[in-house]
Amino acid sequence: MRRVILSLALAGMAGSAAAGSGSVTLTLASDYLFDGVSQTQGDDRDDFNPALQASFDFAAENGFYAGIWGSNVDFGDGDPADIEVDLYAGFARTLESGWGWDFGVLRYTYTGAPSSYDYTEYMAAVTFPFGTTAKLYLADDDALGGNANRFKLLHSFALAEGWSLDLEATRTSYSNGAFEDFTHGQIGVSHSLGAFDAYLGYSDTSRDDPLADGRLLFTLSTSLDVF
């Protein structure tokens, strides 16, 4: 599957490189939360375990995009995974009416861990003229012994100049009854500080797991256009 994604990315770049742009983004996060579940706390749940994340993104004028994203992870004492590397590609468009759509595929991989950790997720999204975005993720994850589906709603309200109020809600369900379906909610404030973007939010889930309990999240990121 990784070869398929890379082939899509290369094909899109080859056809639209002259009319595309590339950027690099660096992020320092107080925690790596995946739908409210910590990916960096491991067994040290009461300690500060930040995440350093980096991505490269390509976007063409025809709507094609592709990228690679990475972060440190810690799933607990003895777990071999240490770095998550995600590959993604898709097509997205925003119309003058305010409607938008996005179709993509993501491949999650984990260095140091066996290939059974890796899985693929398919995504479809629509943005409504009033600004809300709805996303549906479908995954067939061998590590979970079945399918994992996520439905996500996102909305941002513009506040004062450079400020926004960001809302997020996600429902995750599993075909394998051994795993607990859960809901995630997050509210936060974003602010642009020159070349940096800061975010402070609060995340919580219905999941019965200390790694998914309510917590504050702080991130600081910066992006650089490379072409």
With 60 as the cut, is the pLDDT of residue 17 above it? no
d(CA 212, CA 170): 13
The pLDDT score that the predictor gives to residue 159 is: 96
**Could you report the per-residue pLDDT of 103-113, keeping only the tens digit for each?**
999 999 999 99
Using a pLDDT cut of 90, give the percent of the chain over it: 82
Strands 182-193 and 163-174: antiparallel
With 80 as the cut, is the pLDDT of residue 4 above it? no
Give me the architecture of the 2-225 domain, per CATH: Beta Barrel (2.40)
- Rounded to an integer, the average pLDDT of 171-177 is 94
Q: Which pLDDT band holds residue 44 (cuts at 50, 70, 90)?
A: confident
**Could you report the per-residue pLDDT of 57-95, keeping only the tens digit for each?**
999 999 999 999 999 999 999 999 999 999 999 999 999
With 90 as the cut, is the pLDDT of residue 135 above it? yes
Closest Cα to residue 149, out of 177, 178, 181?
Answer: 181
CA atoms within 13 A on the CB side of 151: 6
With 50 as the cut, is the pLDDT of residue 6 above it? no
The pLDDT score that the predictor gives to residue 8 is: 52
Q: Rg of the chain's alpha carbons, rounded to an integer?
A: 18
d(CA 111, CA 58): 23
| Helix (H), strand (E) counts: the chain | 1, 14
Structure tokens at 33: 């939360």
Domain locations in the chain as residue ranges: 2-225
Average pLDDT of the chain, as a whole number: 91
The pLDDT score that the predictor gives to residue 15 is: 52
Task: Give 143-148 contacts, CB < 8 A, sequence gap 24+.
Answer: 143/116, 143/117, 143/119, 144/174, 144/176, 144/179, 145/176, 145/178, 146/174, 146/175, 146/176, 147/174, 147/175, 148/172, 148/173, 148/174, 148/175, 148/179
Per the model's pLDDT, the better-predicted residue between 204 and 7 turns out to be: 204
The pLDDT score that the predictor gives to residue 43 is: 66
d(CA 110, CA 219): 22
The pLDDT score that the predictor gives to residue 144 is: 75
The pLDDT score that the predictor gives to residue 178 is: 87
**Could you report the per-residue pLDDT of 146-170, keeping only the tens digit for each?**
899 999 999 999 999 999 999 999 9
Q: Which pLDDT band holds residue 56 (cuts at 50, 70, 90)?
A: very high
With 50 as the cut, is the pLDDT of residue 10 above it? no
Please tell me the chain's helix, strand, coil percentages from 3-state DSSP, rounded to the nearest 5.
Answer: 10, 60, 30
Contacts of 145 (CB under 8 A, 6+ apart): 176, 178
